Amino acid sequence: MVGTGFFPAGREQAYHIEESKRGSGHDLFLAGTGEVGLMGMHQDEILDEATLPRKYVTVSTCFRREAGAAGKDTAGLYRVHQFDKVEQVVICRPDEAESRAWHLRMIGFVEEILRDLGLPHRLLQCCTGDLGPKNADMIDIESWMPGRGDAGADGAPKGAWSETHSASRLYDYQCRRLNMRSRGETTGGRPAPCHSLNNTVIASPRVLIPILEMHQNADGSITIPAPLRPYMNGRERIG
């Protein structure tokens, strides 16, 4: 958690399991993203540049306290404390152009998934003031959710763009803290910190909001997007 930059900044978002008070040797913390475990695999290693980029994907259960949300979105599926997430991590050479190229490619994976699911979306370039200390750049992907947003004159919500994905490039921030280096032509044969990137591929239950709302029919039934039907025993509709 320290090496990936979630501690000390962001510590208030993590669930603290005080095992030391129950006689155990040390306390535990529940991770809010699979990125923590993936990046930790190569801590204190020097990677051969020929083996880069390292591309990893994990499916993990994540836990976040959502401290500071001030009661916002506490009802429904949007802001929950436990969720499942597919997370992608890339560890590449310490080269700015390569890092930027991977950032765009990772965003492309998400857009392809959203197009296949028939979900309108947009990219939001996060400004510097919204970036955490570990991020060099972050782009949020927002999906259209008809059931969110301010209410209109008829009392019905107007809909809103809401974050469903986030893709970050971190340059060498995490790798320096984790002492994760590479050696090869790019580094002149000397060990140098790698660059890392991470990307939310898909997270549930939040993604269920646009899936259900964008595919709801007039009679209240839900048309299941074609890519999901093989996982629903071939069903085309719910309800």
Of these residues, 60, 99, 143, 166, which one is catalytic?
166
Classified as helix, coil or strand, 50 is helix
Is 163 among the catalytic positions? yes
Residues in a beta bridge with 216:
222
Of these residues, 35, 60, 64, 168, which one is catalytic?
64
Given a contact cutoff of 8 angstroms between Cβ atoms, the answer to whether 171 and 61 are in contact is no
Q: For residue 106, give the nearest of 143, 137, 80 by alpha carbon.
A: 137
Of these residues, 93, 148, 181, 206, which one is catalytic?
206
Of these residues, 54, 79, 183, 229, which one is catalytic?
79
Tokens 């998934």 correspond to 113
DSSP state of 236: -
Tell me the CA distances in angstroms from 230 to 109, 118, 200, 235, one per residue in order: 20, 16, 23, 8
Is 18 among the catalytic positions? no
Residues in a beta bridge with 202:
86
Of these residues, 11, 54, 98, 163, which one is catalytic?
163
Q: For residue 86, give the nearest of 122, 55, 62 by alpha carbon.
A: 62
Catalytic residue numbers?
64, 79, 163, 166, 206
